[in-house]
Amino acid sequence: MSEPRAPKRLFIETYGCQMNVYDSERMRDVLGPLGYTVAEKPDDADLVILNTCHIREKATEKVYSEIGRLRAHKERRAAEGKGMTITIAGCVAQAEGEEIIRRAPEVDLVVGPQAYHKLPELIARVARKSGEQLATDFTAQEKFDRLPARAPDGVTAFLSIQEGCDKFCTFCVVPYTRGAEFSRPIADVLAEARALADKGVREITLLGQNVNAYHGGAAFTDLLSALAEIDTIARIRYMTSHPIETTDELIAMHGSEVKLMPYLHLPVQSGSDRILKAMNRKHDGAFYRDIISRVRAVRPDIALSTDFIVGFPGETEKEFEATMQLVNDLHFAAAFSFKYSSRPGTPAAAMVGQVSEDDKSRRLAVLQKRLFEQQTQFNASQVGRTLSVLVTGTGRRSGQKHGRSPYLQSVHFDDARARNGDIVEVHVTGSSQNSLSGEVSSLVRA
Ligand code: 5AD
Ligand code: SF4
């Protein structure tokens, strides 16, 4: 008889977008049957996966410095007679797989986003030292078919319905790292949603690089309606969307479907029409403003969120001012903003007029200051209102709970009765830049 073995420990570090968060959860699920339990730190893990992001240069650099740190742990463990398998997953793996293998000999395995269902086999092969190191070419459909439904650890879950991008914004690597737009068949999506609902999930966030371009045998709005019919799913969200895929039907649905939460993440990138054109965004400022005014006509309280890039090649001070004007006019509840980062191989990287680091930093600081003010204002505007809050967890003090407002704000309140998955009515009494606090006025059991 063999000795009982200690459970193997898995550490996953996730960088970048929600798609990666989702993929990391699925990697964890797919490796569970192999006996991997989750470790809090990489130091003593048998298997470390860095699920990487390639979208900006800084994100890529972080991967190499993290590999450097892991090398020390790997060497220490080797001295103790233990192994550490270092796996690089995600978009850096897809884009630079061979270079990683060359530059970082301590890396055992490189696996791209379409091959995660093969992880158990690949890990086993590494263990047997049988050589195969690269697994970056599979179709997106194969990946979705073979990964099991994720085991949710709470009452909110991501559900990936679409991957890849055909838009080719001139700054962006996604069309190269995640491939062509692909939508999962609606039957598969609904089956996964029902499985999540059966496990207690009450809020589903549909994910995709162009989620509203969904065309898996039904329109995106048909999918939303079908999801809304699942009784115990109380809330539906989606991200990320492209303005040119925002149909009249989708806008109307924000006014008619009560389960569709009043939150819209719709990246605009810039307020300057010349820059939007150079970015190949396929929309101008007026088009974006028109969508927002139509959404607000049917859902006046909607929380609007977006992405900005400052310092795109050739961006003048005046063009940056156009972005500030758009922010001042539209009022965002939340936003992500970035300095333009040149990505090798994208058209913008070869454009003349690259903006200096100083100018980019200054513009970003000005923009973020205003965005933070707007976020704080949006949160403050909830004080005095009563919001439906989905309970998602327990605070440190006894009786302390936290949850999510319809507008995706985190809300803190005291109520010993409320359990995860309940929806409680909270009278909001306080706000800050990042959260709300209040008192429970009623409770609806899940
Ligand atoms: N530089 C800076 N920001 C970028 N984004 C995508 N590519 C780049 C880049 N090269 C931002 C965009 C996008 C978000 C996910 O990341 O704002 O919407
Ligand atoms: Fe990148 Fe543009 Fe596609 Fe978004 S729409 S993933 S920014 S190419």
Mean pLDDT across the chain, nearest whole number? 91
- The two three-digit tokens of residue 213, written as one number: 């371009």
Say whether pLDDT at 126 is over 90. no
How many other C-beta atoms lie within 10 A of the C-beta of residue 237? 22
> What is the whole-number distance in angstroms between the Cα of residue 15 and the centre of ligand 1?
14
Q: What is the best residue among 54, 56, 58, 368 to mutate for testing ligand 1's pocket, by most ligand atoms within 8 Å of CB?
A: 56
Q: Whose atoms come closest to the Cα of 348: which ligand?
A: 1
> What is the whole-number distance in angstroms between the Cα of residue 293 and the centre of ligand 1?
25
Q: Whose atoms come closest to the Cα of 265: which ligand?
A: 1
Span 336-361, average pLDDT: 94
Write down the pTM of the prediction.
Answer: 0.86
Largest Cα span, the chain: 76
> What is the whole-number distance in angstroms between the Cα of residue 174 and the centre of ligand 2?
6
Asked whether 174 lines ligand 2 (CB < 6 A), one says yes
Say whether pLDDT at 133 is over 50. no
Residue type, 159: L
Q: Whose atoms come closest to the Cα of 312: which ligand?
A: 1
Asked whether 168 lines ligand 2 (CB < 6 A), one says yes
Say whether pLDDT at 58 is over 90. no
Q: How confident is the model at residue 147 (pLDDT cuts 50, 70, 90)?
A: low
- Give the per-residue pLDDT at 376: 98
- The two three-digit tokens of residue 118, written as one number: 């093969």
Please give the order of strands across the beta sheet that includes 8-14. Answer: 36-38, 8-14, 47-52, 85-89, 109-111, 134-135
> What is the whole-number distance in angstroms between the Cα of residue 307 and the centre of ligand 1?
8
- The two three-digit tokens of residue 109, written as one number: 């395995």
- Give the per-residue pLDDT at 123: 84
> What is the whole-number distance in angstroms between the Cα of residue 254 and the centre of ligand 2?
23
- Give the per-residue pLDDT at 3: 41
Asked whether 172 lines ligand 2 (CB < 6 A), one says yes
| Residue ranges lining ligand 1, Cβ < 6 Å | 55-56, 171-172, 267, 269, 307, 309, 338, 340-341, 343
Q: Which atom of ligand 1 is nearest to the CA of 17?
A: 15
Which of the pair, 143 or 277, is modelled with greater confidence? Answer: 277
Q: How confident is the model at residue 134 (pLDDT cuts 50, 70, 90)?
A: very low
Asked whether 347 lines ligand 2 (CB < 6 A), one says no
Q: What is the best residue among 338, 363, 367 to mutate for testing ligand 1's pocket, by most ligand atoms within 8 Å of CB?
A: 338
Q: Whose CA is nearest to atom 9 of ligand 1?
A: 341
Low-confidence winner among 211-220, 366-375, 392-401 (lowest mean pLDDT): 392-401
Span 328-338, average pLDDT: 97
> What is the whole-number distance in angstroms between the Cα of residue 174 and the centre of ligand 1?
9
Span 7-11, average pLDDT: 89
Measured torsion, CA atoms of residues 383, 18, 214, 421, in degrees rounded to the nearest 10: -50
Q: Whose atoms come closest to the Cα of 56: which ligand?
A: 1
Q: What is the best residue among 56, 169, 312 to mutate for testing ligand 2's pocket, by most ligand atoms within 8 Å of CB?
A: 169
Binding-site residue set: 17, 53, 91, 165, 169, 172
What domains does the chain contain, in order, with CATH numbers? Answer: 8-138 (3.40.50.12160), 149-261 (3.30.750.210), 274-279+291-381 (3.30.750.200), 386-444 (2.40.50)
> What is the whole-number distance in angstroms between the Cα of residue 314 and the centre of ligand 1?
16
- Give the per-residue pLDDT at 117: 83
pLDDT tens across 218-253, in order?
Answer: 999 999 999 999 999 999 999 999 999 999 999 999
Q: Which atom of ligand 2 is nearest to the CA of 242?
A: 5
> How many Cα atoms sit within 13 Å of 179 on the Cβ side?
15
Span 94-117, average pLDDT: 90
Q: How confident is the model at residue 128 (pLDDT cuts 50, 70, 90)?
A: low
